[in-house]
A = this chain, B = another copy of it.
Amino acid sequence: MTLSHSGKPGPLSDLIVIDLTRYLSGPYCSLLLADLGARVIKIESPATGDDSRYVPPIFDGQSAYFMSINRGKESIALDLKNEEDRRVLDSLLNEADILVENFRPGVMDKLGYSAESIAQRYPSLVYGSISGFGQTGPWRDLPAYDLVVQALSGMMSINGQPDGPPTRVGTSIGDLGAGIYAALAIVSAIHERARTGRGGRVDVAMLDCQVALLESHYMRYHASGEVPGRIGSRHPLITPFDTFECNDGYLVICTVGDAMYQALVKAVGRPELASDERYLTPQDRLRNGEVFKAEFEAHLKTANREHWLKVIGQAGIPCSPINSITDMSDSPQLEARGVFVNVESANGFSYKAVRSPMKPAMATSGAINETERAPTLDQDGERIRGELLKMAAS
C-alpha cells in the first residue's frame, strides 16, 4: 500500500511532494507542482506554521497572501526536533517523489537531512533546495531577501526612469523567478529518474535566477562593453516604441519600420511629422527620440486615451492601454483562458486568485478545480497520519 495521489488532473498527478518551504520562493515552486497535478504535503512548525500565515491582507480571518500561494496543498504540523514527528516525516519521504525546502544552507544538515543522508536513505527522491545564493560559493551563508537579490544582481540598476533612482521590480521577481526555475529543474530531474532510477539534487539560487533574467544586459556588457542603465519604457533600438501620456492615462505604441511610423503620424493628425527631417529614417528617429517623444506626447495630451487607441488601432499599429490591476480583473480574455481560480477560506468564503499559466494542467484528463482550499495549520495532519498507520499495518 502506498500514499494516495492527489486525485487532481494534470501531468504530475502521479507525484507526491513533501514541502518544507516557507514564505514565497519555495511555496511558489510547490504551488506550480500542485497546479500541475502533484499531491503537495506542506510540513509546518506546530507553534505558528509558515510565517506567511500572518501577512496581510487578512481575508475572512486567514492571510490571503498565504492562501493564494498555498491553495491546493495539504498541511501537517510536525516538530522536526521531536523524535516521533521525525518518524512521520521519514515515512512521508519514503513515499514521496520530491522534497523541496528553502531554508538557509546548513539548516537541513543540522536537522539531519543533509543532501548526502537523503541520497543514501531515499535514493529515488528528487531533493530540491532554493536559497538566496545557492549551496556553494563564498556567499552561500549570507541572508537574502527579494530586495537584496534584485539589488545585487543588477536588476534594480536597469529598472526605472533614466532620471530616477534604481527601482525594485514591482513584483517579487526575486522569489517568483527562483520558484519557477526550481520547478522546471525538479520536473526535469524527475524525468531523468525514469531513466536512471536515481533521484538527485536540485540547487537553485535566487541570485543566479535574477542574473539569468538579465541575460541580455550581461550579454550586452560582455559582448560590446556597454554598461546597461535605466531607459524607462522605451525600446533601446526603435523609436517610437514607448509609453505616451494622454489627457487621462497612459498607452503604449509600437512601430517597426518607416511605413508604420508614417501611418502613425497621419492617424493622429500630424502628417507633417512624416516628412520632418529629424524623423525620416529609423536612425534619425532613434537619435532624436527625446525630442520626438516630447512633441508627440504634447499632442496626445490634447485628447483621451480611448480616442487615441481607436485611431491608432484602426491604422493597424500595435498599441494598448497601460492597465491597472482593476482594469484587467474582468478581462474577457483572462476569463476565456481560465486564469483565475477561487480560493476558499476555512469558513467557505472565496476570492479569485491567479492560476499557474500552464494549459496542460488545465486541459488534460478531466475537469479542473474551479475552487480550491487553502489549508489551515495542520488541517490534514490527522488524515495523513492515519494514511501512514494504515500503510504500516498492511
Contacts and interface: CB of A to CB of B under 8 A. Distances in A.
Contact of A171 (B183, B213, B325, B355): B213
A310 interface: no
Contacts of A34: none
Interface in A267-305: none
Interface in A337-393: 337, 339-340, 351-361, 363-364
A155 interface: yes
A81 interface: no
A226 B65 CA distance: 13
B215 A11 contact: no
A176 interface: yes
A224 B64 contact: yes
Nearest to A178: B357
A265 interface: no
B219 A68 contact: yes
Interface residues of A, number: 134
Interface of A: 10-12, 14, 32, 36, 55-57, 59, 64-65, 67-69, 133-134, 136-139, 143-145, 147-148, 151-161, 164-173, 176-177, 180-185, 187-192, 194-195, 200-205, 207-209, 211-224, 226-233, 235, 237, 241, 243, 245, 250-252, 254, 318, 320-329, 332-334, 336-337, 339-340, 351-361, 363-364
Q: How many copies does the complex hold?
A: 2
A244 to B, nearest CB: 10
A323 B241 CA distance: 27
Contacts of A202: 358-360
A112 B173 CA distance: 39
Nearest to A219: B68
Contacts of A191: 11-12, 187, 190-191, 194
Contacts of A189: 11, 360
Contact of A212 (B55, B139, B321, B356): B356
B64 A364 contact: no
A137 B224 contact: no
B167 A160 contact: yes
A266 B173 CA distance: 32
A207 B357 CA distance: 9
B136 A326 contact: no
Contacts of A172: 216
Given A57-B224, A229-B324, 13 more contacts: A36-B188, A137-B332, A137-B337, A138-B336, A151-B250, A152-B323, A158-B170, A161-B164, A168-B232, A171-B217, A203-B363, A222-B351, A222-B353
Contacts of A332: 137-139
A106 to B, nearest CB: 16
A243 B154 CA distance: 14
The 8 A-B pairs with the shortest beta carbon distances in the complex, nearest first, are A137-B336, A11-B192, A64-B223, A208-B357, A168-B233, A158-B170, A159-B170, A185-B358
13 contacts: A12-B188, A67-B223, A151-B252, A153-B328, A164-B164, A166-B243, A180-B184, A204-B357, A212-B357, A218-B340, A221-B329, A227-B325, A227-B326
Contacts of A201: 359-360, 363
